[in-house]
Amino acid sequence: MEQPVQRSYTRATLDYLGAHYVGAGPETCSYTTQGIQIPMRDGIELAGDFYAPDLPDNQAPAGLILIQCCYGRGAGISFMDARVFAARGFQALLVSTRGTYGSDGIFDPGSNEQSDSQDIVVWMRQQPWYPGSFATLGPSYLGYSQWALLHDPPADCVAAVIPVGPHDHAWHAWGTGSFRLDRASWSDMMSRTDDQRGRLLLSRLSSIPGLGFLRSSELDEAVAGLPLDASLQKYFGDKAPWLFEYLKHPNVDDVYWTPRRHQIALERVKIPILLISGWYDTFTTQTMHQFKHLHGRGVNVRLVVGPWTHVQASGLHSIPEIMDFLAEHLAKTVKYNRFPAHIFITGAQEWRSMPTWPPATRPAVFYLQENSCLGSKQPTQDANPASFVFDPRSPTPSIGGNQMSVGGRVDDSAYANQSDVLTFTSEPLSEDLEVLGVPSVHLIHASDPPFADLFVRLSEVDAQGVSHNITDVYKALDPMREMSHPIRLDLQDCAHLFRVGMRVRLIVAGGSFPMYARSLGTAENRVRSDKTAPQKHIISIAGGVSQLTLPVRAAV
């Protein structure tokens, strides 16, 4: 164990500037940093840094925060997850995940966090500085590590702050029935050396307006190649072996995924939890599921959802909220009386606090109609079906949404001009329509061949005819389905005000690439085959059999 090192003038300056940017408020102290090694049960050691606030002898720290991180312990990561708290009286233990940034072992995403996190807690309890309890913190993969710890919640863990943190790797990779291709770009970053990864992470976080992950042109070509598995293998070689295990196990119930899934944590946890997400985050669906499940159990859980992408929702806009949460549930210096849900309403561009999510709503039904229309009047029984052809050799592009790279709220008007996309658009609204919750679609849908996917999006068209995305869903369809039966697809949660004069648009396509691995239109494995067949999609609309249902704000 190294000797503690006082914060330098340079780091203090960076801390001041960073705190001003994220709205952390004034510092209350300086701090020291101490490098440590933590033994695991199998003999390897994890590297970490312990941050101790410089406080008067008669003043105890505000509490201890545990952070487990696979992205290093450098300036950017350590500021957001440790230093900003240490400079305000908290102890912070920042530990590098197994196989990363000085920690021994092999990095195998999701497989070791459950046992390693328990071993870290055992070690913490033996240290002279341990205060008797702790909270956990960290976004994204750091949030996953928290859920892995909460699989078996330690009695002395008293609170958790989990921004954009998935609890289930299988759900993200294969939950739609198609492989989520951002696993390839993330694996590309994680397969680099520590130095390369650090530089790449910084460049990717600062090089695009949406603050997401960029892919190299070489990786773009690999993702576009068929067969997908072989094309990625050529790009990665012997790097990122976990990616190819992901591709081998499309069944989310496969035993391979068992150590990477922590739904049980949602059943066992009892401590206060702060969940943070963005409407355009990669893991929004899982965060909303976490809140609904925990709130339904009566757990003290608070949900904050902003108009953010993945990185934006990782804490950049939430430090004041996090500080208040830790002051209440870890330091126990204050008590706040706040509603469980704090939600940003897009369209209205305002924050609103609610006693739960989703709030009470009533259904507003829009019927798919001829001539690309959408309306409240049912079409006649002789209305003609709508159709399009999806070509896996030229897949429908992903535009905005919950991507890790170029996602967010974007102009998706281009979909209306594509022959492989159907758009159904309403007349300008005569009154405001506030949508709160989970929109759904019921479609009488057939495809030839039966091997096909559906991508469905809800968008808003403004007075100038420009369309912007609100929410969507992707689903690989069961080829054995009865095509005369309706398909119900629930879109992702949203909170959006359609103002008077705006138009509601429903977009239907057969793919969204490169967000998801395309449907090949054959019975063969979609990641191991290069055989393709165009897929004709037919949607029946006669008599109103296909419809969009919006959960709209109930009358007060």
CB of 271 closer than 8 Å to CB of 298: no
The 3 state secondary structure assigned to 129-162 is CCCCCEEEECCCHHHHHHHHHHCCCCCCEEEEEE
Categorize the per-residue pLDDT at 405 as very low, low, confident or very high, splitting at 50, 70 and 90.
confident
Q: What is the mean pLDDT of residues 544-550?
A: 98
Domains and CATH numbers, the chain: 5-177+250-354 (3.40.50.1820), 178-249 (no CATH), 361-553 (2.60.120.260)
pLDDT over 60 at 213, yes or no: no
Q: What is the pLDDT of residues 98-154, one digit of tens each?
A: 999 999 999 999 999 999 999 999 999 999 999 999 999 999 999 999 999 999 999
476 three-state secondary structure: strand
Name residues whose C-beta falls within 8 Å of residue 297's C-beta, 6 or more positions apart in sequence.
266, 267
Determine the pLDDT at residue 1: 75
Determine the pLDDT at residue 269: 98
Categorize the per-residue pLDDT at 192 as very low, low, confident or very high, splitting at 50, 70 and 90.
confident
Classify residue 512 by its DSSP letter. -
Strand partners, 385: none
Determine the pLDDT at residue 206: 46
Q: What is the mean pLDDT of residues 495-500?
A: 98
Determine the pLDDT at residue 554: 81
The closest alpha carbon to 542, from 383, 431, 424, belongs to: 383
pLDDT over 50 at 203, yes or no: yes
Determine the pLDDT at residue 197: 64
- Computed over every residue of the chain, the mean pLDDT equals 95
H/E run at residue 351: strand 350-354
Percent of the chain with pLDDT over 90: 93
pLDDT over 90 at 198, yes or no: no
Q: What is the pLDDT of residues 288-330, one digit of tens each?
A: 999 999 999 999 999 999 999 999 999 889 999 999 999 999 9
Strand partners, 276: 163, 304
Q: What is the mean pLDDT of residues 61-87?
A: 95
Classify residue 316 by its DSSP letter. T
pLDDT over 60 at 207, yes or no: no
Q: What is the pLDDT of residues 5-15, one digit of tens each?
A: 999 999 999 99
CB of 458 closer than 8 Å to CB of 471: yes
Determine the pLDDT at residue 556: 52
Separation CA 484–CA 482 (nearest Å)? 6
Determine the pLDDT at residue 2: 87
Determine the pLDDT at residue 214: 45
Residue with tokens 């790097």, as numbered in its chain? 239
Determine the pLDDT at residue 270: 98
Q: What is the mean pLDDT of residues 17-27?
A: 95
